[in-house]
Amino acid sequence: MKKEFLDLGEQPIANKFLHWEEVMGDADDEEFFFDLKVVFDDETNLVSLKEFVKPELMFNDEYKYNTSLSVPMVKHFKDTAEHLKELRNQWGYKTLNVLEIGSNDGPFISNFKKGQGICVEPCGNFATKTEKMGYKTYNDFWTKELAKKIVEERGEKLDLIYSANCICHIQDLDDCFEAVKNSLSEKGMFVFEDPSLLRMMERGSYDQIYDEHAHVFSVLALEKILKRNGLKLFKVEDLSHIHGGSNRIYVRHMNINSDMFDPLESVNFAINEEVEFGLDNFKTYEIFAKRVEKSKSDLVSKLKKLNKDGKRVASYGATSKSTTVFNYCGIGRDLIELVTDTTPDKIGLYTPGTHIPVKNRDEVDILEFDYLFLGAWNFKDTISNKEQEFIQNGGKFITHVPEVMEFS
């Protein structure tokens, strides 16, 4: 049974930054909104959105999140590829063909030889890019049908299926995992990383919840859902520093001789930590919802006070996460003048739902601002190191994670 515990109100498509004509209502289509409510499934302990948004509305040729523009993430994917190559050697694979689900603009796959790497990417702008880079790319969503087609075309199954920040976007997890099971070679590994529900709950980072994140995963829930699809979760790595706290999950076929794989200690450890926190108990989610309400009222009061005192406030990083915060809290241009970002595709556009202008960081004199709200709080250290001049000039950052506060 699915029980609702959180209502984040009417929300737009988190990454659909708008052109001026769309803001003015002169475009053909009206901006799309949906009810962002969150449910807990008693049986599997999975946390999901109550209402899913049609994938094509989110993941299309206009998709604005370019992973390769994020220097820390490019390094993360290079390190990840090295790590997986080492494991492959340890675990005795002879060859390695790699398929990435949701390859974006290629920062992970580019660490593998062209003939070895296969991409699956529904956003045409990125699919074209990885194809041009020399990787066979399927411009499609990951489904059982697509997996079958890929295996048939290649005439072999896959040794490594990897995915970062994408499996939690897939609404039908049974179809997704069955597709993996059908296409993974006998001793193959499926490795994926996504934001961790435990870290979200600990850190109060409710803005991990938006249209794209159909689910926020606990190890507890994943273990059950993978199992019912004939897959074994055999190892977990805690990536505390990635996207505000993620888990990297290692999966293999259920019934193979598993001597060469790690024992399950890391899985037991992660599940114990989650159970201790209460992720199997609905009450924990009700407490979290109260914390989210408090976060909203603290943030709005703070911004209103700053506004009354004549302080200038901008936001740093036009993130999907800040779409949730701004729309849930009702924060518009009256409280935040502009948002800075470094992504060319977002610059010159307006934030989804709240219509705050997004400006090129290099063209905004942030020293003119008293406060910067950290939309990209997951890059807190990178940003505060980079913006020392702002701090030395008396500027302060505001964050809502783990609670609303300012820092410099």
- In the chain, the amino acid numbered 211 is D
Which lies closer to ligand JHZ via its Cβ, residue 129 or residue 243?
243
Q: How far is the CB of 63 from ligand JHZ (least distance, A)?
A: 9
Residue 90, Cβ density class (10 Å: 0-12 exposed, 13-18 middle, ≥19 buried): exposed
Could you tell me if 108 and 117 are in contact, meaning their C-beta atoms sit under 8 angstroms apart?
Answer: no
Q: Which is nearer to ligand JHZ, 110 or 208 (CB)?
A: 208
Q: Closer CB to ligand JHZ, residue 96 or residue 401?
A: 401
Angle of CA points 115, 188, 250, to nearest 5°: 110
Q: How far is the CB of 243 from ligand JHZ (least distance, A)?
A: 5
Q: What angle do CA 142, 144, 146 make, to 5 degrees?
A: 55
Q: How far is the CB of 325 from ligand JHZ (least distance, A)?
A: 10
Chain-centre distance for alpha carbon 253: 26
Q: Within a 10 A sphere around the Cβ of 251, how many other Cβ atoms? A: 24
C-alpha to C-alpha distance for 183 and 190, rounded to whole angstroms: 10
Distance CA 77, CA 369 (A): 34
- β-bridge partners, 10: 35
The footprint of ligand JHZ (CB under 6 A) covers 65, 70, 165, 212, 243, 317-321, 341-343, 346, 361, 376, 378-379, 382-383, 386
Q: For the CB of residue 32, give the shortest distance to ligand JHZ in the complex, in Å.
A: 17
Provide the phi-psi class of 98: left if phi over 0, else alpha when psi is between -120 and 50, else beta.
Answer: beta
Pick the closer one to ligand JHZ by CB: 285 or 379. 379
Identity of the residue, 87 or 364, whose beta carbon is nearer to ligand JHZ in the bound complex: 364
Phi, psi (degrees; rounded to nearest 5) at 7: -125, 110
Structure tokens, 324: 């949730």
CB of 341 to ligand JHZ, least distance (A): 4
Minimal distance, residue 378 CB to ligand JHZ, in Å: 5
* Rounded least distance, CB 121 to ligand JHZ, Å: 12
Contact 131, 120 (CB under 8 A): no
What is the three-class DSSP state of 40? strand
Cβ distance to ligand JHZ smaller for residue 11 or 319: 319
Residue 321 half-sphere exposure toward CB, CA atoms < 13 A: 22
Strand-strand pairing, 371-374 and 313-316: parallel
Identity of the residue, 111 or 324, whose beta carbon is nearer to ligand JHZ in the bound complex = 324
Q: How far is the CB of 393 from ligand JHZ (least distance, A)?
A: 18
Taking the least distance from each CB to ligand JHZ, the nearer of 118 and 242 is: 242
User: Would you say 320 or 327 has its CB closer to ligand JHZ?
Assistant: 320
Please report the sign of the dihedral spanned by the C-alpha atoms of residue 101, residue 107, residue 111, residue 115: positive
Min CB(112)–ligand JHZ separation in Å:
21
CA-closest candidate to residue 245, choices 295, 189, 188, 207: 207
Q: Which is nearer to ligand JHZ, 185 or 323 (CB)?
A: 323
Nearer to ligand JHZ, 188 or 244 (CB): 244
Smallest distance, ligand JHZ to C-beta of residue 192, A: 12
Phi, psi of 143 (to 5 degrees): -140, 170
User: Which residues are CB-contacts of 244 (< 8 A; sequence separation ≥ 6)?
Assistant: 195, 199, 200, 203, 205, 208, 377, 378, 401
Task: Output the smallest distance, CB 359 to ligand JHZ, in A.
Answer: 10
